Amino acid sequence: MSSKRFFQSKLFLFVAVAVLAAALVVVIGPKADTSAQGDPLDWQTIAEERGLTDADLRAAVMTYMPSGQLDEYVMFASGGHSGQVFAIGLPSMRLLRTIAVFTPEPWQGYGYGAGEEVLAGGNMLDGQEVRWADTHHPALSETNGDYDGQWLFINDKANARVAVIDLRDFETKQIVKNPLYLNDHGGTKVTPNTEYIIEPGQYGMPLGNEFAPLSDYEEAYRGMITFWKFDREAGRIDQSRSFAIELPPYWQDLCDAGKLVSDGWVFCNSFNTELALGGIEEGNPPFEAGVSQNTTDFLHIINWRAAEEVFLAGDTVEINGMQVITLDTAIENNLLFFTPEPRSPHGADVAPYGDFIIVSGKLDPHVTIYSFQKIMDAIEAGVEETDQYGVPIISMEDSVEAQVELGLGPLHTEFDNQGYAYTSLFLDTAVARWSLGGENYRPEDGWTLQGTIPVQYNVGHIAAAEGDTVDPDGGYLVSLNKWSVDRFLSTGPLLPQNLQLVDISQGGDSMQVLYDMPLTAGEPHYAQIIKADKLNPWDVYPEIGWDPVTQSVSPDAVEPGEEGVFRDGNNVTVRMTAVRSHFTPERVEIRKGDRVTWTITNIERARDATHGFALPYYNINLSLEPGESITFEFEATRDGVFSYYCTEFCSALHLEMMGYMTVQP
Ligand code: K7E
Ligand code: CUA
């Protein structure tokens, strides 16, 4: 090959490219190498290696909480069939506290020698103890329609109970059982000044839970709504000042209290106006079809202030100790009205100014917006039509302000500070943002869908920051999803719930999922989110010897110097103090058959200086927070040697914080 032909050949081209490439490797190769391996201290390198997008980085920056910094909000989420409540910090989504409510919880000593009195308050009829629950709807106490950070209430759907939690120590103080009903649902929203805690029933049944055959459903079964009087001073529900209203045996579902212009009223959706009874085995439609035959059910519109007057005037009947306004009395006194609501409704949520009520039909792609003013005008003008039980029905033409098509399976609605509403879409597994067209919100946008964001997966409730009050904060929303499917590493067939933090701070359709939090407990239905600075919990109990049930110094509290074991026949009193790293006394020598009353007072004043107390075999397990005093009782049924010990690693000599109880045969 001549040199000329060589320079024109493919071989020359190949050699030239190879030489050029080798030269390039020499010149820029090492630099390219650096950027591939990178400086491991450079966050951009890490982000690049993990393939994080700008949106991911924004989410990380918005949710990361440096050690020692504190969250801006606290979310109280129901624990579903765990029976508890969870306090979660936002925006970090860190679990801050499990609050034992209906279910014993060993690490807080609840139901293992302490809290027995509270748990016993929720006994089922006939004294049979129920130690589980299906919590659905937490409700923070309110002053003038805004959260005041003092109390938290939650219902037990399974057993129609309501619990009271004191937010000074985040502990449950009271459980009441509704004597009229087996289960409830749409509680526990509160009236704007926490005058009452609202507890509607769920599945129709005879009031007082007497037997009646299913064939008598129409006549013998009833619905109900209970107004539990909350005595702030006492920190307790007062059943003697509480009352209920008898309702037709439709299935009352979720209620929300009116506020501002609609203060004094309560709105509840319902379903099964068909009075379907199931019985597929007898050729009836199955429940899920039978209950959804009608194109509309009834939104219940209840004047609770007028009902209170009827109750105070004594125009009630007593059922199982509960004062009940009968259906006839409610109708006579204009306490109760209906207006139709579209297919299979779920959720009735009052807008911040109290002027609109938002209802979602699970089988209707719209939300329906009712105008409180229109409803009042219709009542004023007189309502002719009634249902089969005589309850006046306001027509939809006279009550509805607007309908907005959002998507499939709308359930629950919350609000922000920009005039937007947010509705969960169960079937679309998304959250919709839409504008409230009323003059108080976004009249310039009208009633329109603004955008939707997919969530993972099957959202039930959503909670926006203070999003059901007269003054929502906006900024954050949490989507409480039933299914997590592929969002977390697999832990077998039972998966956690997925609580997703969503940024709603920007307008239009700019929502962004920021964080996925697995919650490995029962299904969280509803949650409420409160600004952290509205909460003012104690660092330690106010005084040594504190009884958290009575929120005062216990008359049994033990002071240093007066410890000991005291005998009076078969009754033994143990008086003990706990302080790092010592129980006094260290020896408790008793005899089989003794009745033992044992008080332990934690005399610490240092924050977080909690001691545990475990007494194996006798099933005692306590948590003694600084200042706390607990008294428990048992019968010494088994002889032997029982070492008791502290379960909190409280000091370097924690393992030595123990003692011996000997039980002589
Ligand atoms: Cu929709 Cu009990 Cu409020 Cu569950 S309920 S999601
Ligand atoms: Cu007290 Cu360990």
Domain of residue 46: give its range: 3-63
CB 480 within 8 A of CB 526: yes
CB neighbours (10 Å) of residue 200?
31
CA 526–ligand 1 middle distance (angstroms):
6
Cross-strand bridge partners of residue 53: none
Residue 341 phi/psi, 5-degree rounding, is -135, 145
Q: How far apart are CA 572 and CA 569, in angstroms?
A: 8
Distinct helix (H) and strand (E) counts, the chain: 11, 41
- Contacts of 199 by beta carbon, 8 Å cutoff, 6+ apart: 155, 160, 162, 178, 184, 186, 187, 188, 225, 226, 227, 228
The three-state (H, E, C) secondary structure of 188-250, written as one string: CCECCCCCEEEEEECCCECCCCCCCCHHHHHHHCEEEEEEEEEECCCCEEEEEEEEEEEECCC
Which residue lies with its CA nearest to atom 2 of ligand 1?
Answer: 136
- Looking from the CA of residue 411, the nearest atom of ligand 1 is 1
Residue 416 domain flag: yes
Which secondary-structure segment (H or E) carries 339?
A: strand 336-342
State yes or no: pLDDT of 24 exceeds 50: no
Q: 222 and 298 in one domain? A: yes
109 & 57 share domain: no
Mean pLDDT of 521-526: 90
The pLDDT tens digits of the residues spanning 337-390 come to: 999 999 889 999 999 999 999 999 888 999 999 999 999 999 999 999 999 999
Q: What value does the mean pLDDT take over residues 655-659? A: 97
Q: Is 98 a residue whose pLDDT tops 80?
A: yes
Whole-angstrom distance, CA of residue 364 vs CA of residue 408 = 7
The ligand that comes nearest to the alpha carbon of residue 411 is 1
Report residue 111's pLDDT band, with 50, 70 and 90 as the boundaries: very high
pLDDT at 28: 46
Model confidence pLDDT, tens digit, residues 239-277: 999 999 999 999 999 999 999 999 999 999 999 998 988
Ligand 1 center to 477 CA (angstroms): 17
Residue type, 231: D
> Could you tell me if 483 and 527 lie in one domain?
yes
Q: Which of 360, 427, 526 to mutate to test the pocket of ligand 1 (most atoms within 8 A of CB)?
A: 526
How high does pLDDT run on average in the chain?
93
Identify whether 212 is part of a domain: yes
User: For residue 187, what pLDDT is reported?
Assistant: 85
Q: Which two tokens stand for residue 587?
A: 């020896």
Whether residue 116 is found in the same domain as residue 45:
no
Which region among 7-11, 440-444, 629-633 has the lowest average model confidence (pLDDT)? 7-11
pLDDT band at 507 (very low <50, low <70, confident <90, very high): confident
Q: Is 442 in the pocket of ligand 1 (CB under 6 A)?
A: no
What integer is the mean pLDDT of 332-337?
Answer: 98
The overall pTM is greater than 0.85: yes
Quick one: which ligand is closest to 134's CA? 1
With a 6 A CB cut-off, is 345 part of the ligand 1 pocket? Answer: no
- Judge whether residue 30 has pLDDT over 60: no
Which residues are CB-contacts of 219 (< 8 A; sequence separation ≥ 6)?
none
396 contacts 340 by C-beta, under 8 angstroms: yes
Query: Does the structure show a pLDDT above 90 at 5?
Result: no
Mean pLDDT score, 277-299: 88
Choose which residue among 183, 253, 254, 426 to substitute to test ligand 1 binding: the one with the highest number of ligand atoms within 8 A of its C-beta: 254
Q: Cα separation of 373 and 213, whole Å?
A: 42
Cα of 651 vs centre of ligand 2, distance in Å, is: 6
Residue 580 and residue 523 share a domain: no
Question: Are 564 and 517 members of one domain?
Answer: no
Q: Which among 34, 63, 92 is the end of a domain?
A: 63
What pLDDT shows up at residue 253?
96
Atom of ligand 1 nearest to the CA of 460: 6
In a domain, 322, yes or no: yes
Does the residue 623 lie in any domain? Answer: yes
Give 574-607 as a DSSP string: EEEEEETTEEESSEEEEETT-EEEEEEEE---ST
Q: How far apart are CA 569 and CA 645, in angstroms?
A: 27
Select the more confidently predicted residue: 95 or 209: 95
Distance 463 CA to ligand 1 centre (A): 12
Distance of CA 119 to the CA centre of its chain: 19
Question: Residue 38 has what pLDDT?
Answer: 74
Query: What domain count does the chain have?
Result: 3
Q: What is the CATH number of the domain that holds 470?
A: 2.130.10.10
* 110 in the same domain as 27: no
Whether residue 522 is found in the same domain as residue 655? no
Beta bridge partners of 573: 566, 597
Two tokens, residue 609: 């200086």
Determine if ligand 1 sits within 6 Å of the CB of residue 411.
Answer: yes
Which residue in 591, 554, 593, 592 sits closest to 575, CA to CA? 554
Q: Whose CA is nearest to atom 6 of ligand 1?
A: 460
Instruction: Report d(CA 591, CA 213) in Å as an integer.
Output: 55
Tokens of 361: 């039909």
Kindly give the number of the ligand 1 atom that is closest to the alpha carbon of 482.
6
Q: CA–CA separation, 264 vs 122, rounded Å? A: 29
Question: Mean pLDDT throughout 601-616?
Answer: 98
The Cα–Cα gap between 474 and 466 comes to: 8
Distance 553 CA to ligand 2 centre (A): 23
Q: In sequence order, which ranges of 504-582 are alpha helices (DSSP H)? A: none
655, part of any domain: yes
DSSP tag of 126 = G
Task: State the CATH number of the domain containing residue 647.
Answer: 2.60.40.420
Q: Name the nearest CA neighbour of 512 among 57, 154, 183.
A: 57
Per-residue pLDDT at 222 exceeds 50: yes
Distance CA 163, CA 615 (A): 29
From residue 598, alpha-carbon distances to 80, 140, 277, 635, 661 in Å are: 34, 35, 53, 11, 12
The answer to whether residues 448 and 421 touch, using CB atoms and an 8 Å cutoff, is no
- In the structure encoding, which two tokens stand for residue 196, read together? 């009452």
Lowest mean pLDDT among 41-50, 278-287, 420-429, 613-622: 278-287
Q: Which helix (H) or strand (E) holds 63?
A: helix 54-63
**Ligand 2 pocket, Cβ-based, cut-off 6 angstroms:** 581, 611, 646, 648-650, 654, 657
> Which token pair is 593?
């058959």
Query: Which residue, of 487, 505, 534, is where some domain finishes?
Result: 534
Two tokens, residue 633 = 């009782």
Tell me the mean pLDDT in the region 582-596: 98
- The burial class, CB within 10 Å (0-12 / 13-18 / 19+), for 27 is exposed
Q: Nearest-CA neighbor of 348 among 448, 266, 273, 245?
A: 266
Count of alpha carbons within 13 angstroms of residue 170, beta-carbon side: 21
Residues 555 and 524 in one domain: no
Distance (Å) from CA 580 to ligand 2 centroid: 6
Q: Is the pLDDT of residue 21 over 80?
A: no
In sequence order, what are the residues at sequence separation of 6 or more whose Cβ sits closer than 8 angstroms to the Cβ of residue 185?
A: 136, 137, 155, 157, 200, 201, 202, 252, 253, 254
Q: Is residue 541 part of a domain?
A: no
Q: Which of 511, 534, 557 is the last residue of a domain?
A: 534
Q: How many CB atoms lie within 10 A of CB 174?
A: 20
- Given the CA of residue 651, which atom of ligand 2 is nearest to it? 2
Is pLDDT larger for residue 28 or for residue 236? Answer: 236
Same domain, 90 and 132: yes
Ligand at minimal distance from the CA of 202 is 1
Whole-angstrom distance, CA of residue 658 vs CA of residue 586: 7
Which backbone phi and psi does 15 adopt, to 5 degrees? -65, -40
- Give the Å distance between the CA of 335 and the centre of ligand 1: 26
Digit-coded pLDDT (tens) for 162-219: 999 999 999 999 999 999 999 999 989 999 999 999 999 999 999 998 899 999 999 9
Q: How far apart are CA 605 and CA 279, in angstroms?
A: 62
**Residue 145 and residue 9 share a domain:** no
Contact 197, 153 (CB under 8 A): yes
Q: Are 123 and 232 in a shared domain?
A: yes
